[in-house]
Structure 1
Amino acid sequence: MRQSGPSGFRIGIDLGGTKTEAVALSPSGDVVAQERVPTIKGDYAATIATISGLVTRTENQIGQTCTVGIGMPGAASRETGLVKNANSTWLIGKPLQKDLEEALKRPIRLQNDANCFAVSEAIDGAGKDTEIVFGVILGTGVGAGIAIRGECLEGRNAIAGEWGHNPLPAPMDDERRGPLCYCGRHGCIETFLSGPAFERQYAEACGTEIGAHEIETLAASGDSRADAVMRRYEERLARALASVINILDPDVIVLGGGLSNIRRLYDTVPTLWEPHVFSDSVKTRLSPPMHGDSSGVRGAAWLWPPSL
């Protein structure tokens, strides 16, 4: 039987472009339940139903009523409460927090997914015991979050860390104007560094559509065309992250999302960003996530302190 009332157990939901994940944390922060389901794209009602179903099944599994924190692409507007800036475009203009609170019959906490990721890695992950963590999501889109002393920095307009919708720094001639982004502008960092962009670059160079993992495997096996695509990607990532270091000067940059699994990035990118950083030395670390692709969902659960 499920116990009612606050229990100290927290559920986090990560609403991603390809998967929606739930995790339940005990008061001590241990994972006690976890489930992933495919994200139903383009259907807002199905999004509400998916999240509600995950919460219900998780609470039935652990026998506790929990607080619920949700990480989502984009942000809720401070003016209207409606979703803005989401690459899951079916969420844009919707009262997601209101509708979820009605469906779940309780208050929830809603936060940008990259902010959740940054907080998770700052609290007990790759950025533990550091002051400033910049958490990057390299996945279906490109987002980022900022954690200062373990707490999320949202900013005046709830867009702190929206790195992916700045122009790619120091564009080369063949990068100018750049691809069209869903936001309506050309040449956003997201259009060069997202997973789909990386795969598109390989297809344009090699005439074959394959996934990011396959590109990495080919490059590691000595395929010169795959390696050239990898090197171009790394150089662009280095330029883009150097601009962040120049502004924020973080202790650590943690990569998340599907492309964070490309191991060579952690060796090559820091050597490539140095000429673009306005300093005689660069102490910022580039790290993989300690909690893998479940870091964001853990950060969503952390939106509620254990005592509530």
Structure 2
Amino acid sequence: MYKIGIDLGGTKIEGICLDGSHNVLVRKRIMTNQHNGYESILDSIVSLVGQIASGLSDYSIGICTPGAISKKTGMIKNSNTQCLIGMPLKDDLERLLGRTVAMENDANCFAMAEATLGAATGYGLVFGVILGTGVGGGIVIDGRLHRGRTLIAGEWGHHTLHIHGNKCYCGRQGCVETYISGPALEKRWSELSGKHEKLSDIVKQEGNDVKLWKKEFLENFGIALANVIDILDPDAIVLGGGVSNIDFLYTEGKKAVYDNVFSDLIDTPILKNKLGDSAGVFGAAML
């Protein structure tokens, strides 16, 4: 069976077709044009699948979406592509395409891709981490995605890190996401230094402000990820998203994690992703 994956992003929609050996047969990108609304996005996905599936009869379809499907309503929630919120995206696409569609959020697709084709290939229980605009995660066990009873497995970004801490868009305080996401780290740097700079520029600097910023970052990263290890005890952790490009996370960051794990043997691999921004489309195909 051929595998078609669609990665629905805020600016582009990417599609891919893999054969049974995971060789790429077709790969296409089109603009999302979310300003044209929900119906336009549906039409674009259907058209892209049609182009990729041309001449094929036996294929599956997996779709990586911004946001997640509510188990309660079947509608999209928590999406940064706002025209999708409250819409039955999966049901509408299945109706228009005339076949079953597998659909997951970007963190689950990332975890699936890295566990199947990327940095964590060959490991049993893999925790895939997204450290970007937000903080998310996905769990893959022996090649199968673990979603959980209410489809929230892996959502470590909304674990409480500091009980009376930073306010989060979810309505609570102290969530992991409010401390170690890209925007949170840039905001904290601005508070310490008075400068508004990108994360990639902050990590190149020296001085007392950056030392304090880095110390806080490592403490929060270490505690947050150690909590996950204490619960899951995964065979490997793979980091993705823009924040994952910071080199010290794989040295000093790993030590900060190990220092907080409840075990006398701590050797969990903390790996940098191999697939980069291609993880979404490959993960969708793997669904």
Short-chain TM bin: 0.7 to 0.9
Q: In 1, Cα distance between the equivalents of 2:95 and 2:146?
A: 27
Q: Which residue, 230, 236, 243 being the options, matches 2:227? A: 243
Task: Decide whether aligned partners of structure 1 residues 136 and 46 sit closer, same or farther in structure 2, where only a CA change above 3 A counts.
Answer: farther
SS at match of 1:297: helix
Q: Which residue, 114, 117, 130 being the options, matches 1:121? A: 114
Q: In 1, Cα distance between the equivalents of 2:103 and 2:127?
A: 19
2:184 aligned with 1:197, yes or no? Answer: yes
2:5 aligned with 1:21, yes or no? Answer: no
Task: Decide whether aligned partners of structure 1 residues 280 and 287 sit closer, same or farther in structure 2, where only a CA change above 3 A counts.
Answer: same
Code of the aligned partner of 1:207: G
What is the CA-CA distance between 1:280 and the residue it aligns to? Answer: 1.2
Matched residue, 1:148? 141
Q: In 2, Cα distance between the equivalents of 1:206 and 1:38?
A: 38
The answer to whether the Cα contact below 8 Å between 1:12 and 1:69 also exists between their aligned partners in 2 is yes
Q: In 2, Cα distance between the equivalents of 1:140 and 1:101?
A: 30
SS at match of 1:281: coil
What is the CA-CA distance between 1:100 and the residue it aligns to? Answer: 2.1
Q: In 2, Cα distance between the equivalents of 1:166 and 1:122?
A: 23
Q: Normalising by the residue count of structure 1, what TM-score does the alignment of the two structures yield?
A: 0.82
Q: Which residue, 150, 153, 159 being the options, matches 2:152? A: 159
Task: Decide whether aligned partners of structure 1 residues 191 and 28 sit closer, same or farther in structure 2, where only a CA change above 3 A counts.
Answer: same
Q: In 2, Cα distance between the equivalents of 1:214 and 1:125?
A: 28
Gap regions ≥5 residues in structure 1? 1-7, 304-308
The answer to whether the Cα contact below 8 Å between 1:13 and 1:70 also exists between their aligned partners in 2 is yes
The answer to whether the Cα contact below 8 Å between 1:203 and 1:210 also exists between their aligned partners in 2 is yes
The number of aligned residues is 285
SS at match of 2:251: helix
Matched residue, 2:90? 97
SS at match of 2:185: helix
2:229 aligned with 1:229, yes or no? Answer: no
Task: Decide whether aligned partners of structure 1 residues 82 and 27 sit closer, same or farther in structure 2, where only a CA change above 3 A counts.
Answer: same
SS at match of 2:71: coil
What is the CA-CA distance between 1:64 and the residue it aligns to? Answer: 4.2
2:140 aligned with 1:183, yes or no? Answer: no
Code of the aligned partner of 1:55: V
Matched residue, 2:42? 48
Task: Decide whether aligned partners of structure 1 residues 57 and 178 sit closer, same or farther in structure 2, where only a CA change above 3 A counts.
Answer: farther
Task: Decide whether aligned partners of structure 1 residues 161 and 214 sit closer, same or farther in structure 2, where only a CA change above 3 A counts.
Answer: same
Code of the aligned partner of 1:206: S
What is the CA-CA distance between 1:125 and the residue it aligns to? Answer: 2.0
Matched residue, 2:245? 261
Code of the aligned partner of 2:260: H
The superposition leaves residues 131-190 of structure 1 with CA deviations (integer Å, 9 ceiling, x where unpaired) of 11000111222110000111100111111111111212xx3xxxx533332222222111
Matched residue, 1:292? 276
The 5 Å alignment of 1:106-117 reads: 106-117=99-110
The answer to whether the Cα contact below 8 Å between 1:274 and 1:281 also exists between their aligned partners in 2 is no
What is the CA-CA distance between 1:300 and the residue it aligns to? Answer: 0.6
Matched residue, 1:3? none
SS at match of 1:301: helix
Task: Decide whether aligned partners of structure 1 residues 177 and 102 sit closer, same or farther in structure 2, where only a CA change above 3 A counts.
Answer: same
Matched residue, 2:66? 73
SS at match of 1:264: helix
Q: Normalising by the residue count of structure 2, what TM-score does the alignment of the two structures yield?
A: 0.87
Gap regions ≥5 residues in structure 2? none
What is the CA-CA distance between 1:12 and the residue it aligns to? Answer: 1.2
Code of the aligned partner of 1:114: A
What is the CA-CA distance between 1:274 and the residue it aligns to? Answer: 2.1
Q: In 1, Cα distance between the equivalents of 2:194 and 2:188?
A: 10
The answer to whether the Cα contact below 8 Å between 2:222 and 2:259 also exists between their aligned partners in 1 is no
Q: In 2, Cα distance between the equivalents of 1:83 and 1:41?
A: 15
The answer to whether the Cα contact below 8 Å between 2:5 and 2:284 also exists between their aligned partners in 1 is yes
Q: In 2, Cα distance between the equivalents of 1:270 and 1:289?
A: 15
